[in-house]
Structure 1
């Protein structure tokens, strides 16, 4: 049965088309998707570099580019281009299968030939060339084919290698960069083989089997499972673009089984979330849960859970989707407690409970806020149930020294506050999680077969204990993803101390496939230089964090007034939309809800429709916290001035607790970093008055 694959470039270009052209593409593909007759719709192009590359008519002015097999039955939609550009593409591009890795490759053969002519006299005049130290057979073993080898032998400087990157196969260019950076042949192979879909390279590589090569290249193309999935992809091209996996992500997500808990870490945009979603899809398809035991895909907020549910829906269809429960961890905790107690669960925030804690703190010489933080970050975090345990504990993350008498006074004040909360039937979410974990441990009940946690770095230790209690220990029990540099709630945990052992099953992703290198380099400067502790208690660094994408530097705009800043925002958003960006692929973030409301009003006055950050049908607007886990083509971050970033009332006073004050400042930096790294193509940051001290100079 013939199959259809979609190239990532096709989706990227399709998303930018005007609506009439998109409609014409949909009609064309509907006819083409009748794959029994797919070849009848394709046109051969005179002087095509690769006879397998054909075109398909969309309109008089637009053509689709299709890779059609001479052998096998997999067709790939490569791109959609204006008429003349499509024919130029076909007359210059050639597809091939990498001889060492077995992945699909494409090269601009016309430009490579021109570049060879330019480099010839430069190479002849040079005493030494860039790759003189490597034998042809070593380069062949790394997947460098004869055509590429010809131009490689003409390279004199690393700048020449950079210049040919856009025109040559990416897998071969990556190997050459590794060698040019000083790696040995063995080291370069180790680096290249990390990107294989399978642990080992394929034993037999058929250079004519494009279908097998496509399946080995999930970061470039995905096979579509019928017309219904094709329609879903075309309705949400940007979302579908996000479901493509790089081979290393694919290897982690689709490994048949792990012997226990797995941890995946990495910087923003490295694909942690999409890897977790694919892992959930893999588990849903592989296992038939006994007794109806489902799989849990969870995170720490409702909006993130909605985004996960949407992404999973692009991969898992009925009835398999019924095997995966997608909910935030707080809802899971509330349900466990409610089912066990038979009553309602009233949850309150710190702000709503502060009056109660102020009363409890009276005569202690401490503030209610300090007392609440001591309870949540020390007593609740360490699950301390006795005064003796509190007197002997280490107060990790707390800077104010407390003597034994002070600790006794704190303990008694905490008892007064928590008893008052119990009398009035009030709880916090970490408290509910602690209670839910205790219920499950006491009853020996494990409601899920597997638990996958996204954005795990923001979970309170009590919620981690609940995660551990939700599934029985064993193969594939837990799969967690996180990045401590994106920690926007001050919850610091050690997985080992919580009984979650990921030793030997920890993976790190270091390449961002979302943001350009220009956006990443600028955003990393927002984080400052303070060391960051990871989930494994070791320092987490971003030294190897990079992007293969290039683009414009972020734009930072200063305005005299907030009104002028909002006017500038409206103009920028209108410009993005006018240039073909889908409105719901534009995200606008502000530090507070009131600032986000001001953005909505100003955009509405300019005739721009808006929606919530997890919505569709308009420019998505919300707070920096709400941006967590989301992704946009273009992002505007507004109000980044000294009065709002950092937000003073979210900072512990330095004189009260200098360590907590430092943690709060870092959390505010992380929050700005998170908002900025949601951007794929363009980032615009603005402020009025004095700039935030976090903005890179």
Structure 2
């Protein structure tokens, strides 16, 4: 019976999904069935190409390959009847002779060669070179320098070293604008598009080979039969980013078609992602990358791979909030409905919860003796009775009121005290004044004299007393207690593997808990984070918690979410500051790149907030008129602004919603604009985004900066800058930014 491979392609129209499934199912049963009309195409560049009837108006394009005497079909896509024949006639399936990657090429006459020989490095036009009269450049525009040619690459070198199609590279080297470079790669196979994008970004050939995991076909394999080479091509990571083998599995075929996932993260992983899913490390590993680079995708596939490799393994997946954890859990169920699931924390299978929820569960399940011991070790008290948890702000305010101290306003501040408590006191299990006076405060920024340390400690003691009286503890305290409980036990912790997403916002209590959750060893901790998206916690180097990742840290740089224009704008917001990662090393954004292009983000200035709402309403109506499937996110700095936006849009006749959970997947509610805060939008994405109220008085918020010491103020400013970056990077296709009055300093 014939088998099927699906190629990554455009999504199947909803009305055709069942028809495509029926057609492919019938092919696996008997490809000679008359009603299928599986037919070769006249004058096609590849004699193996076929078209098959989907319905009277549509035909599918497939390649028929023979592998070890068995018939195999590669489904390429479905087109309108006449278009299908045109497309099929120019498509050619091949195993790349240089690197062994399976690819479908679109054959066309070679474009004109560059004026310089393609065997020689491209030379950009000299100053004063006449421009084409049919396409003159504005007199003020800088001369375009082709980044691929100017780096010394040639058609021959790019074919010999990478296997890039000569037609594609010839067009790329001849390009005289960014638009022409985009057009050159438009019809290229996915891996070739990625390679060209890397070349444009200044990556070396070796770096591109490493990212795409491209090798060279061994000499002994060059004489293999076509079918044998086809079979071996599926060992190549770059093949798997565009093709997935289905075989005769009707359920797998249906799942791919019904969910349109053959162009999505569930089915195809980029080689740079796949390597971090599969690889094993002798200790903690950190994966960083900007917004939209696919860290969460890797987290999900990594958890799945660990559980599949050993169904008895205890795999804990965690993240910063319960909301984000719920999203991970839903996506994991979508990725693999049959994945082994743990019935409880510490049981075999995958267990998904927010990090604070994990800490609370450990404390709740602890014995009285364990609680007493942990209380003495963490809080200096055996009285650990917890009825609830708190963010601590009210308790810090009260502690400052009831304590006699000489702290100036910058230190007598709940934000400073909370950060000091978590980063120094809890992180080092300090329970006495003597211990606090001796401990190093390296990295805290704000210096404290001995007298001021005494004052701070007195406030800390008052805070702890108040919490005991209220039968509560801060979230960080509960996590630190949980870590102490786990460390006191003999055994391998509550997990064999912990996979973490959004780790940049974790505090000291979280890191203590993570280190205690899994015993040090192979694949114990997998940490995904982006220091540029830190909008909550303070940055604390992992080495302080016994989490050593030196030499086990990598970065993703290819953006899958947003257009190059939106990416450039969002990254530009970060340019006014320098960032350190959780290894205390400088974090760069210079090599982030996107495969997609689109409109340049629009920034509109209004005289009033009403003007901003007018601009937003006009954009929403235009976007919805252009596409019924547009998903629109409207983000503000505060809840107060969000409520004004909802009211204002309503006055414009635009219905909006304020919760992502209010939309039914089976209704048009998904297309109702969603109004939320920038903080709330973390982890989400929309086709279109409007950032409203990005003025000098809104972001950064003056109220949260008042009375902070210089070091804390700079850290808070960086978090506010990161918040705007997070918000801007939620947009896939189009971004509108509005403000009234003076613009935010982050827009300048």
Matched, 1:568 2:568: no
Return the match for 2:303 from 280, 300, 325: 280
Give the whole-Å Cα distance in 1 for the aligned partners of 2:658 and 2:252: 26
Give the whole-Å Cα distance in 2 for the aligned partners of 1:34 and 1:137: 44
Which residue of 2 is the match for residue 324 of structure 1? Answer: 350
Which residue of 1 is the match for residue 166 of structure 2? Answer: 148
Matched, 1:525 2:572: yes
Give the whole-Å Cα distance in 1 for the aligned partners of 2:432 and 2:187: 67
Q: Secondary structure at the match of 1:421?
A: helix
Q: Secondary structure at the match of 1:295?
A: strand
Q: Which runs of 5+ in 1 are unaligned?
A: 15-20
Which residue of 2 is the match for residue 643 of structure 1? Answer: 697
**Which stretch of structure 1 is more off in the superposition, 533-542 or 153-162?**
153-162
Which residue of 2 is the match for residue 500 of structure 1? Answer: 547
Larger radius of gyration: 2
Q: Secondary structure at the match of 2:583?
A: coil
Return the match for 1:687 from 721, 739, 742: 739
Which residue of 1 is the match for residue 359 of structure 2? Answer: 333
Q: What is the deviation of 1:286? A: 0.4
Give the whole-Å Cα distance in 2 for the aligned partners of 1:332 and 1:202: 54
Give the whole-Å Cα distance in 1 for the aligned partners of 2:60 and 2:709: 62
Tell me, yes or no, if the aligned pair for 1:490 and 1:663 is still in contact at 8 Å: no
Return the match for 1:192 from 190, 209, 216: 209
Return the match for 1:513 from 544, 560, 575: 560
Give the whole-Å Cα distance in 1 for the aligned partners of 2:172 and 2:559: 31
Which residue of 1 is the match for residue 531 of structure 2? Answer: 484
Higher helix share: 1
Return the match for 1:451 from 498, 507, 517: 498
Using the size of structure 1 for normalisation, the TM-score is 0.85
Return the match for 1:119 from 113, 118, 138: 113
Q: Equivalent residues in 2 for 1:171-570 (5 A)? A: 171-172=191-192, 188-189=205-206, 191-196=208-213, 204=221, 208=227, 209-210=229-230, 212-213=232-233, 216=236, 217-223=239-245, 226-233=249-256, 236-237=259-260, 241-243=264-266, 244-255=268-279, 257-289=280-312, 294-322=314-342, 323-340=349-366, 345-361=387-403, 363-366=405-408, 367-369=412-414, 370-396=416-442, 398-445=444-491, 446-570=493-617
What are the superposed Cα offsets for residues 336-395 of structure 1, whole Å, 9 maximum, x if unpaired?
011115775411124444542342455444434243343234323443333223223343
Tell me, yes or no, if the aligned pair for 1:129 and 1:154 is still in contact at 8 Å: no
Q: Which runs of 5+ in 2 are unaligned?
A: 124-148, 343-348, 369-384
Which residue of 1 is the match for residue 641 of structure 2? Answer: 595
Q: Equivalent residues in 2 for 1:162-173 (5 A)? A: 164-169=184-189, 171-172=191-192
What are the superposed Cα offsets for residues 591-632 of structure 1, whole Å, 9 maximum, x if unpaired?
223333444455567454646346654244422112222333
Q: 1:355 to 1:60 in 2, by over 3 A?
A: farther
Give the whole-Å Cα distance in 2 for the aligned partners of 1:198 and 1:282: 24
What are the superposed Cα offsets for residues 262-300 of structure 1, whole Å, 9 maximum, x if unpaired?
1111122221111111111101110132xxx52101101
Q: Secondary structure at the match of 2:700?
A: coil
Give the whole-Å Cα distance in 1 for the aligned partners of 2:5 and 2:655: 35
Q: What is the deviation of 1:442? A: 1.0
Q: What is the deviation of 1:8? A: 3.7
State the Cα RMSD in Å: 3.7
Q: What is the deviation of 1:556? A: 1.9
Tell me, yes or no, if the aligned pair for 2:576 and 2:746 is still in contact at 8 Å: no
Tell me, yes or no, if the aligned pair for 2:419 and 2:538 is still in contact at 8 Å: no
Q: 1:479 to 1:180 in 2, by over 3 A?
A: closer
Matched, 1:9 2:9: yes
Give the whole-Å Cα distance in 1 for the aligned partners of 2:78 and 2:687: 19
Q: 1:693 to 1:6 in 2, by over 3 A?
A: farther
**Which stretch of structure 1 is more off in the superposition, 561-570 or 153-162?**
153-162
In the comparison of the two structures, how many residue pairs are matched? 672
Tell me, yes or no, if the aligned pair for 2:617 and 2:654 is still in contact at 8 Å: no
Give the whole-Å Cα distance in 1 for the aligned partners of 2:635 and 2:724: 9
Tell me, yes or no, if the aligned pair for 1:589 and 1:621 is still in contact at 8 Å: yes
Q: Secondary structure at the match of 1:194?
A: helix
Tell me, yes or no, if the aligned pair for 1:515 and 1:549 is still in contact at 8 Å: yes
Q: Secondary structure at the match of 2:429?
A: coil
Matched, 1:622 2:676: yes
Q: What is the deviation of 1:521? A: 1.2
